[in-house]
Structure 1
Amino acid sequence: MTVLGTGAMGAGVAGSLLREGHEVTVWNRSRERALPLGDQGATVADDPGTAVADAEVVLLTLFDTDAVVDVLEQSAGEAPATAVWVQCSTVGVDGTETIVQIAAKYGITLVEAMMLGTKAPAEQGKLTMLAAGPAEVLDRVDPVLDAIGAKTVRAGDRVGEGTALKLAANAWIASITAATGQSLAIAKGLGIDPELFLQAIEGSASDSAYAHTKGKSMLSGEYPAQFALDGLRKDIGLITEAARSAGVSTTLLDALGRVYADASTAGHGDDDIAAVGTAF
């Protein structure tokens, strides 16, 4: 088992695989970020080609399309022909098509399993995996997905359908997080304790566990990163492009892009997405 990319999500995924008894090799562009996984029992490779040399399954947990393409170009010919490559990076519709084309160029067996969740679920093996690809290939990687996720939703048999579902889900995450910040700001601005907003929705049809999790962070003014704000900004851009190309209105997405950009400009790009509340 190989994990290429050990940022917040990749490190959590690798840790979950190790905890479930899998033999894991990891690689990261900044090697020092992968070294703690070596202490947990993983093999830390010096380059992606070496990392995939004996892999049955390769997980791509990288930041963007350029990173995935670069790693594929470096390592595709080094893996066993029987290896299954699982694209887990959020790269949007066009990025996914680029990766599909490169996989075809090198004869790679490719499926995707988008990760719905943040740092803590990744570390706990409680992600929701949004998978797509030929059913018989997904069957082969189910034990891997079970080790890193609480459930798997199969979006379709074509790589790209998992991406489509991830974009829709992240639009929801971006919206409810920003909406929570707005409601807390309105309550405070009108002279009442903003925590009363969270009490008001608790247990109602409009309640959301996410509103409480992110709302508590907003109220405390502390934003330890579970999902970095600039990472979600990148995703909002991908979602906006996809929506526009599909003929879906981007009115709300455009507003979300501005709000998250304001928080980033104020210095919160590396903080958790809850820091979007500062924009209000």
Structure 2
Amino acid sequence: MARPAPTGAAWSPSSTWPYLYCPLKIRSFEMTTVALLGTGIMGAAMGRNLLKAGHDLRVWNRTMEKARPLEADGATLAADPAEAVAGADVVITMLNDGDAVQQAIEAAAPGLRAGQVWAQMSTVGVAAVERLAGFAREHGLVFVDAPVQGTRQPAEAGTLVVLAGGPADPRLDPVFSAVGSKTLWVGDVGAATRLKLTTVGFGIALTSVLAEVLGLAKGLGVDVGHFREVITGGPMDSPYLQAKLKAISEGDFTPSFSVTNAEKDTRLIAEAAEQAGVAVDLARAAGDRFRRAEAQGHGEEDMAASYFAGFPTA
């Protein structure tokens, strides 16, 4: 017969045996089975944090070698997307663009089942997210538009900001908590992608402006140290500016967010802006600079390498 929980000063462990009284609040944990399609810079970092949080992780990547380090960390390596998603509670896509996501999820179709949650966390643009949501409806999936704000460092630290649109399915709570420091639910499917294009556009514009200005400084013979002294601690300073200034000054273009990915995002921003009747001159100009840097061989370097676009004849 059930006995009441212990209350009052007269309670003692012996009087309530066999119940164990513990004043601490215990938080239960239920392991989630996650299928991660895409293990590039961002996907691999997110996968490691999912493993650290105790989730059962299956991974697939078009280039298998990029997924093998996660296998060493405890993930199950799948031969194809269908094998990865079979039996998963949550499916995550973290791939380069909408076409890559479409190809992967179509290949996964034989392993999908109605009711699975699909968190589409890549930056794919407005048109693509609508197309992908249509695929989800056809297959009975719970589709959440959930691109992330942040680059390699916050991905590795598990401090991404998840921008989420669609149904707030509770199965996603432990997954989003493992990869991010905050989840911002912003409305229906598509709302998160529109917000992501806005925020990534801000980062791209800041980087492009700094890269161009430092190119100008070099051309004019200005000491970059003097430029840093003027900016640091003033109203134009920011941690982001300092990080990119350091990268360009030291010639360290280890990618947090590559030139190629940034160029892709400028096209997505321009397409969305055109549909909305908005002129995005800076995004288009940044795209031109990224394409020049790509042609110079800097595509896989950090987007700060658009600095080199300032010297087209070099």
- TM-score band by shorter chain is over 0.9
Q: Does 1:101 align with 2:131?
A: no
**1:42 aligns to 2:75 (yes or no):** yes
Query: Partner of 1:180: helix, strand, or coil?
Result: helix
Aligned residues of 1:198 and 1:211 also touching (Cα < 8 A): no
Aligned-pair CA distance for 1:149: 0.7
Whether the aligned pair in 1 keeps the contact of 2:82 and 2:109 (CA below 8 Å) is yes
Measured in 2, the distance between the counterparts of 1:132 and 1:228 equals 26
CA RMSD of aligned residues (A): 1.4
Residue number in structure 2 paired with 1:211:
241
Three-state SS of the structure 1 residue aligned to 2:130 is helix
One of 165, 182, 187 as aligned partner of 2:212: 182
C-alpha distance in 2, partners of 1:265/1:47?
33
Alignment of 1:164-203 (within 5 A): 164-203=194-233
Q: 1:131-186 CA distances to partner (integer Å, 9 max, x unpaired)? A: 11123x2x331211111012122221x11111001100111111000111122223
Counterpart CA distance in 1 for 2:177 and 2:152 is 17
Structure ranking higher in helix proportion: 1
Amino acid of the structure 2 residue aligned with 1:199? E
| Equivalent in the alignment of 2:25 | none
Q: How many residues align?
A: 277
Asked if 1:233 is matched to 2:273, the reply is no
Identify the residue that residue 66 of structure 1 maps to in structure 2: 99
Q: Does residue 1:142 correspond to 2:173, yes or no? A: yes
Whole-angstrom distance in 2 between the partners of 1:262 and 1:174: 15
CA distance in structure 1 between the partners assigned to 2:60 and 2:219 by the alignment: 48
What SS does the aligned partner of 2:56 have?
coil
Structure 2 contact 89–171 (Cα < 8 Å) conserved: no
TM-score (normalizing by structure 1): 0.95
Match of 1:96, SS state, is: helix
Q: What is the percentage of aligned positions where both structures have the same residue?
A: 43
TM-score, scaled to structure 2: 0.85
Gaps of 5+ in 2: 1-33
Alignment correspondent of 1:265: 295
Preserved CA contact (<8 Å) 1:155 1:161: yes
Cα distance change, pair 146–199 in 1 and its aligned pair in 2 (3 A): farther
Q: CA deviation at 1:77?
A: 4.1
Distance 1:36 1:95 in 2: 30
Partners of 2:238 and 2:214 lie apart in 1 by 14
SS in 2 for 1:82: coil
Deviation per CA, 1:74-113: give whole Å up to 9, x if none: 2234234332100011110111111011111111110021
Aligned residue in 2 for 1:155: 186
Could you say what secondary structure the match of 1:268 adopts? coil
1:51 aligns with 2:84: yes
Measured after TM superposition, the shift of residue 203 of structure 1 is 2.4
- Matched residue, 2:304: 274
Deviation for aligned residue 1:215: 1.1
1:130 aligned partner: 163
Out of 54, 66, 71, the residue aligned to residue 21 of structure 1 is 54
Conserved in 2, the CA contact under 8 Å of 1:184 and 1:195?
A: no
Cα offsets for 1:237-277 (capped at 9, x unmatched): 01001011101112222211111111111111111111011
Q: Distance in 2 between matches of 1:76 and 1:110?
A: 14
SS in structure 1 at match of 2:95: coil
Give me the whole-angstrom Cα distance separating, in 2, the residues matched to 1:130 and 1:218.
Answer: 29
- Hey, which bits of structure 1, 4+ residues long, moved more than 6 A? none
Return the index of the structure with the highest Cα Rg.
Answer: 2
Offset at 1:190?
Answer: 3.2
SS in 1 for 2:96: coil
Partner Cα distance (2:303, 2:147) in 1: 19
Q: What one-letter code is carried by the residue in structure 1 that aligns with 2:89?
A: E
Amino acid at match of 1:229: V
Extract unaligned runs of 5+ from structure 1: none
Q: Matched residue of 2:289: which SS?
A: helix
The C-alpha deviation readout for 1:164-218, integer Å capped at 9, x for no partner, is 0110011111100011112222333333311332332222222121111111111
Distance 1:115 1:199 in 2: 33
